[in-house]
């Protein structure tokens, strides 16, 4: 595992591993024990340009490559991940502070998305459409956009890099990937290494490890990429969308959430507790789909709360390398500061702490807050940490109003003994995804993934990848002679 952090601490541009030429280094730390994992000299605007130019040069030949031949690269990449699964899991634990359960979850999904990319190579289809003009044949081709820029986050960096990189490549594009500064290896150069070893021709996937303090908006504004796929916060996503629009680029935005898990009066409470605890505390709550809010019908709230609090108290916080650990560290000290500050502010505003976790460096123990005032800003924002907000409601109408009372609209869940009641409830919620009798954290390779409102624009997964990473081209053929008015 440690060799990843020494061998891959470089830029990967045009099929070559090379150092950046910036004047400072990104230091990659283990968030649990602050061990220095790697030091990477950052890429400058020149390296970003080199990466995009290399991608543009390589893409044309790749697009003309038989899709069955392209498919073989993804088959080999999948085998390599399977062979190296143990090493990759150790890297996820070290660089992200992810637990062993989380590492396994991320690797399982990464493999599933690669399997879908194998199929996606053969998915584009053209059409021949009728014309009102005699003798006219309208051909509609589906073609790659060209070059895609991908910006991946720190929470599921291996999965969420592959989730955009693999489909974009499978559909005949080239890619430049910029991983998050806190996860440059797992989210960036490790992905490049796997595809390099799988036989992907040089130049088709490039990785630039850098910071906006160095490159500004160069990654977004560069004339080569036609699509930017960004996963991250809505604040940064708004900026990405604005810059892309001003340069006539398409943006695919998978942004934050403020999801609610709703427990109706007829729910299986033990099962709902299990779903709610997982949905809030998986990967320390650093998941866009996490259940920030747990809303319970007042008639069952006392029993649910007692069971929920009891289960939360059993969650072991500590070293993510320990198989018994459920709560590892958050990604960095600024995240830990923000979580602690949010809890203290909520308490100052009148909330009650049913569980008040302590903080040691980046390790933030679980908290459960209730009795938040209706105007608490915490109820409207994304809380990226192990803090659950418990609330009550009287009947479905109030539940729908509370769930929708947020600027976000990513995921959510409802628990009820009546499935169709749950489906009817789900239809009234302004989200891109909603789950009946399950948790809020789900992602499947062929199901459209994305949000409404501030939770994003566009969808990923399955056939929606065609909309994201290809475009259509109309070529008409006139059989015989056309008539012209002059």
pLDDT (0 to 100) of residue 90? 97
Examine the domain organization and report whether 35 and 127 are in the same domain.
Answer: yes
445 within domain boundaries: no
Q: pLDDT tens across 47-105, in order?
A: 999 999 999 999 999 999 999 999 999 999 999 999 999 999 999 999 999 999 999 99
Cβ neighbour number for residue 452 with a 10 Å cutoff:
15
188 within domain boundaries: yes
DSSP character at residue 316: P
484 within domain boundaries: no
pLDDT (0 to 100) of residue 287? 96
Examine the domain organization and report whether 240 and 291 are in the same domain.
Answer: no
- pLDDT over 70 at 310, yes or no: yes
398 within domain boundaries: yes
- pLDDT over 70 at 2, yes or no: no
Examine the domain organization and report whether 327 and 395 are in the same domain.
Answer: yes
442 within domain boundaries: no
Pairing of strands 363-364, 359-360: antiparallel
Cα 418 from Cα 316, distance rounded (Å): 34
447 within domain boundaries: no
Q: pLDDT tens across 240-271, in order?
A: 999 999 999 999 999 999 999 999 999 999 99
Range of the domain at 355: 259-436
Mean pLDDT along residues 331-357: 95
- pLDDT over 90 at 476, yes or no: yes
Q: What is the mean pLDDT of the chain?
A: 97
- pLDDT over 70 at 12, yes or no: yes
> Would you say 381 and 402 are in contact if contact means Cβ atoms under 8 Å apart?
no
Examine the domain organization and report whether 461 and 423 are in the same domain.
Answer: no
Q: What percent of the chain has pLDDT over 70?
A: 100
pLDDT (0 to 100) of residue 433? 98
Three-state DSSP at 148 gives: strand
441 within domain boundaries: no
Mean pLDDT along residues 96-118: 96
DSSP character at residue 182: T
> Would you say 180 and 157 are in contact if contact means Cβ atoms under 8 Å apart?
yes
Examine the domain organization and report whether 34 and 178 are in the same domain.
Answer: yes
Examine the domain organization and report whether 163 and 299 are in the same domain.
Answer: no
Examine the domain organization and report whether 150 and 270 are in the same domain.
Answer: no
Place of tokens 């960095």: 332
Q: pLDDT tens across 134-175, in order?
A: 999 999 999 999 999 999 999 999 999 999 999 999 999 999
Examine the domain organization and report whether 324 and 241 are in the same domain.
Answer: no
- pLDDT over 60 at 447, yes or no: yes
pLDDT (0 to 100) of residue 274? 98
**Structural domains counted in the chain:** 2
> Would you say 186 and 107 are in contact if contact means Cβ atoms under 8 Å apart?
no
Q: pLDDT tens across 16-53, in order?
A: 999 999 999 999 999 999 999 999 999 999 999 999 99
Cα 308 from Cα 295, distance rounded (Å): 12
Pairing of strands 25-29, 36-41: antiparallel
pLDDT (0 to 100) of residue 483? 87
Examine the domain organization and report whether 304 and 242 are in the same domain.
Answer: no
Please list the active-site residues.
254, 288
Examine the domain organization and report whether 274 and 319 are in the same domain.
Answer: yes
Mean pLDDT along residues 461-470: 95
213 within domain boundaries: yes
Examine the domain organization and report whether 308 and 362 are in the same domain.
Answer: yes
Which CATH number characterizes residue 207's domain? 3.40.605.10
Which CATH number characterizes residue 415's domain? 3.40.309.10
Examine the domain organization and report whether 243 and 300 are in the same domain.
Answer: no
pLDDT (0 to 100) of residue 40? 98
- pLDDT over 60 at 1, yes or no: no
Give CA separation, 147 vs 49, 91, 126, 178, 248, in Å: 13, 29, 21, 14, 14
């Amino acid at each position: 595992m440690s060799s990843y952090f020494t061998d891959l601490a470089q830029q990967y541009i045009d099929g070559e591993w090379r150092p950046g030429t910036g004047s400072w280094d990104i230091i990659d730390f283990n968030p649990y024990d602050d061990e220095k994992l790697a030091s990477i000299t950052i890429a400058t605007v020149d390296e970003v340009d080199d990466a995009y130019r290399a991608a543009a040069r390589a893409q044309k030949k790749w697009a003309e490559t038989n899709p069955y031949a392209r498919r073989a690269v993804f088959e080999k990449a999948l085998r390599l991940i399977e062979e190296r699964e143990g090493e990759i899991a150790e890297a996820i634990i070290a660089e992200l502070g992810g637990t062993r359960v989380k590492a396994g979850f991320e690797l399982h999904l990464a493999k599933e998305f690669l399997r879908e990319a194998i199929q996606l190579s053969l998915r584009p289809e053209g059409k021949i459409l009728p014309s009102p003009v005699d003798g006219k044949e309208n051909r509609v081709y589906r073609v790659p956009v060209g070059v895609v820029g991908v910006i991946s986050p720190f929470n599921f960096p291996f999965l969420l890099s592959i989730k955009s990189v693999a489909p974009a490549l499978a559909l005949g594009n080239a890619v430049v990937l910029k991983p998050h500064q806190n996860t440059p290896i797992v989210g960036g150069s490790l992905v490049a290494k796997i595809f390099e070893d799988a036989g992907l021709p040089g130049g088709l996937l490039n990785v630039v490890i850098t910071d906006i303090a160095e490159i500004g908006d160069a990654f977004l504004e560069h004339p080569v990429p036609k699509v930017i796929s960004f996963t991250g916060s809505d604040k940064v996503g708004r900026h990405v969308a604005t810059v892309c629009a001003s340069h006539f680029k398409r943006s695919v935005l998978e942004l934050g959430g403020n999801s609610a898990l709703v427990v109706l009066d007829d729910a299986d409470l033990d099962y709902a507790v299990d779903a709610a605890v997982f949905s809030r505390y998986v990967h320390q709550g650093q998941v866009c789909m996490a259940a920030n809010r747990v809303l319970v019908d007042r008639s069952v709230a006392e029993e649910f709360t007692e069971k929920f609090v009891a289960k939360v108290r059993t969650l072991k916080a500590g070293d993510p390398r320990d198989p018994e650990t459920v709560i590892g560290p958050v990604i960095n000290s600024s995240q830990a500061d923000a979580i602690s500050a949010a809890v203290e502010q909520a308490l100052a505003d009148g909330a009650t702490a049913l569980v008040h976790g302590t903080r040691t460096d980046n390790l933030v123990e679980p908290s459960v807050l209730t009795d938040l005032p209706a105007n608490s800003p915490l109820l409207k924002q994304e809380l990226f940490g192990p803090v659950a907000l418990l609330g009550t409601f009287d009947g479905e109408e109030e539940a729908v109003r509370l769930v929708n009372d947020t600027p976000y609209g990513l995921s959510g869940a409802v628990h009820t003994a009546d499935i169709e009641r749950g489906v009817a409830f789900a239809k009234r919620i302004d989200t891109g995804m909603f789950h009946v009798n399950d948790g809020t954290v789900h992602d499947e390779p062929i199901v459209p993934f994305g949000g409404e409102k501030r939770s994003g624009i566009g969808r990923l997964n399955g056939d929606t990848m065609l909309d994201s990473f290809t475009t259509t081209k109309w070529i008409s053929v006139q059989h015989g002679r056309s008539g012209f008015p002059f």
